[in-house]
Each structure stands twice: as C-alpha cells, then as structure tokens.
Amino acid sequence: MRQGRDLVVDPQSHAGEVARFLNHVVRGPGRQDCWLWTGAIGSDGYGRFALRRGGWRQVGMVRPSRYALALALAGQPLPGEVRALHECDVTLCVRVVTEQELVAGVRPHVTAGTQRENMEQMVARGRGGGRPRLIARGAGLRARRERALALREAVRSGWDSAAVEEAMLGGQPRLW
Ligand SMILES: [Zn+2]
C-alpha cells in the first residue's frame, strides 16, 4: 500500500493507466448512486489497483478510492497523509462528487480527509479503529469483505439495481 507517498495522476501522461482504472469502474445510473470498483479486492474489503510506473521497481498497490481522489485533482499531487473517506460507507465506491454536484444536492461519496477523521468515521461505523475485541474485529472484516465481493458480483455484467440492493443489505432476506 502506497498510502504514505504523494500520488499524482496526470490525465495526459497517465492516460493509459487512467483508462485501465476506469475499465474497472461501473457507475450507478441514479443521481445519488455509487460508482463501484470491480477489480481486485483485498482481505480488508477494499479494492486494490496496481500501478506499474516507470522507475518503480515493484508494482505499487493503491486503493481505488485514493486513486479516484488523485484523478479528480487532474495532475496536482494528492499528499501522502490524505486519506480517502467513504461517506457512503461502501468500501468499493470510487465516486468523487464535484463541487457543482454538491451544490446541486448530490450526496458526497469518496472525500479527502485526515487520518484522524478516518479513524473517527471507522469507529462511528463499527469498522474497527477503536479497541474492539479481536474476534469481533475479525467478524467485521469478513462481513465487510463478503459484502464487497457480493457487490462486485452484482455489477459484473453492468449495474443490476436489485442485485446491488441485495448486496448492500448483506445478503439478508428481503421482506416480502
Ligand atoms: Zn458511494
């Protein structure tokens, strides 16, 4: 994970990489919908995007949400200490809402924040970061990863609203 270093995504010089990234993103049709990552998913339930840049000895892995934040900066560096926060609480979401969209009432999805804000958000949403018992944390991780896998499966052949809704609910039976 290269969360410790600045990330630059230049629309021109990284055009091929950006295209490869966007190939793994399925956008929900609704105005408030998430845009979901459909590439690799790590054991933590977050996505993984491999960067193979010249000069890097090894493949660098970044979270797709972090890459999306850097992409939105259009070439300006995303500082290493900035964290990608998931306001929508969907780990696979890579949607960065523009200022104009926010003003127009679109809810935020992936936003830039500090490590402190990230921890506060994780605690508030029961994603660890506090001091939960290990067993509870393991179960939470598993559930988060399973939800991510189910969501990815739900959009494998394009956005399927019913399947997405079911995956968001974590496989709970529907109430009818
Ligand atoms: Zn979202």
User: What burial letters (b/e) apply to 109-125, b meaning 16+ CB within 10 Å?
Assistant: bbbbbeeeebbebeeee
pLDDT of residue 116: 84
Q: Where are the domains of the chain?
A: 15-168
**56 CA to centre of ligand 1 in angstroms:** 31
Q: What is the per-residue pLDDT across 88-122, written as a single tens digit (0 to 9) for each?
A: 999 999 999 999 999 999 999 999 998 888 888 77
61 CA distance to ligand 1 centroid (A)? Answer: 21
Query: Token digits for 141?
Result: 């991780």
Query: What separation in Å is there between the alpha carbon of 32 and the centre of ligand 1?
Result: 8
What is the model's pLDDT at position 1? 44
User: Alpha-carbon distance 39 to 159, whole Å?
Assistant: 15
Res. 21: pLDDT tops 80: yes
Q: Which amino acid is present at 31?
A: R
Measured in angstroms, how far is the CA atom of residue 69 from the centroid of ligand 1?
13
For 119-176, the pLDDT digits (tens) are 887 777 766 555 555 556 667 888 889 999 999 999 999 999 999 999 988 755 555 4
Cα–Cα distance between 167 and 77 in angstroms, integer? 34
Neighbours of ion ligand 1 (CB under 5 A): 34, 88, 90, 93, 109
CB of 164 closer than 8 Å to CB of 151: yes
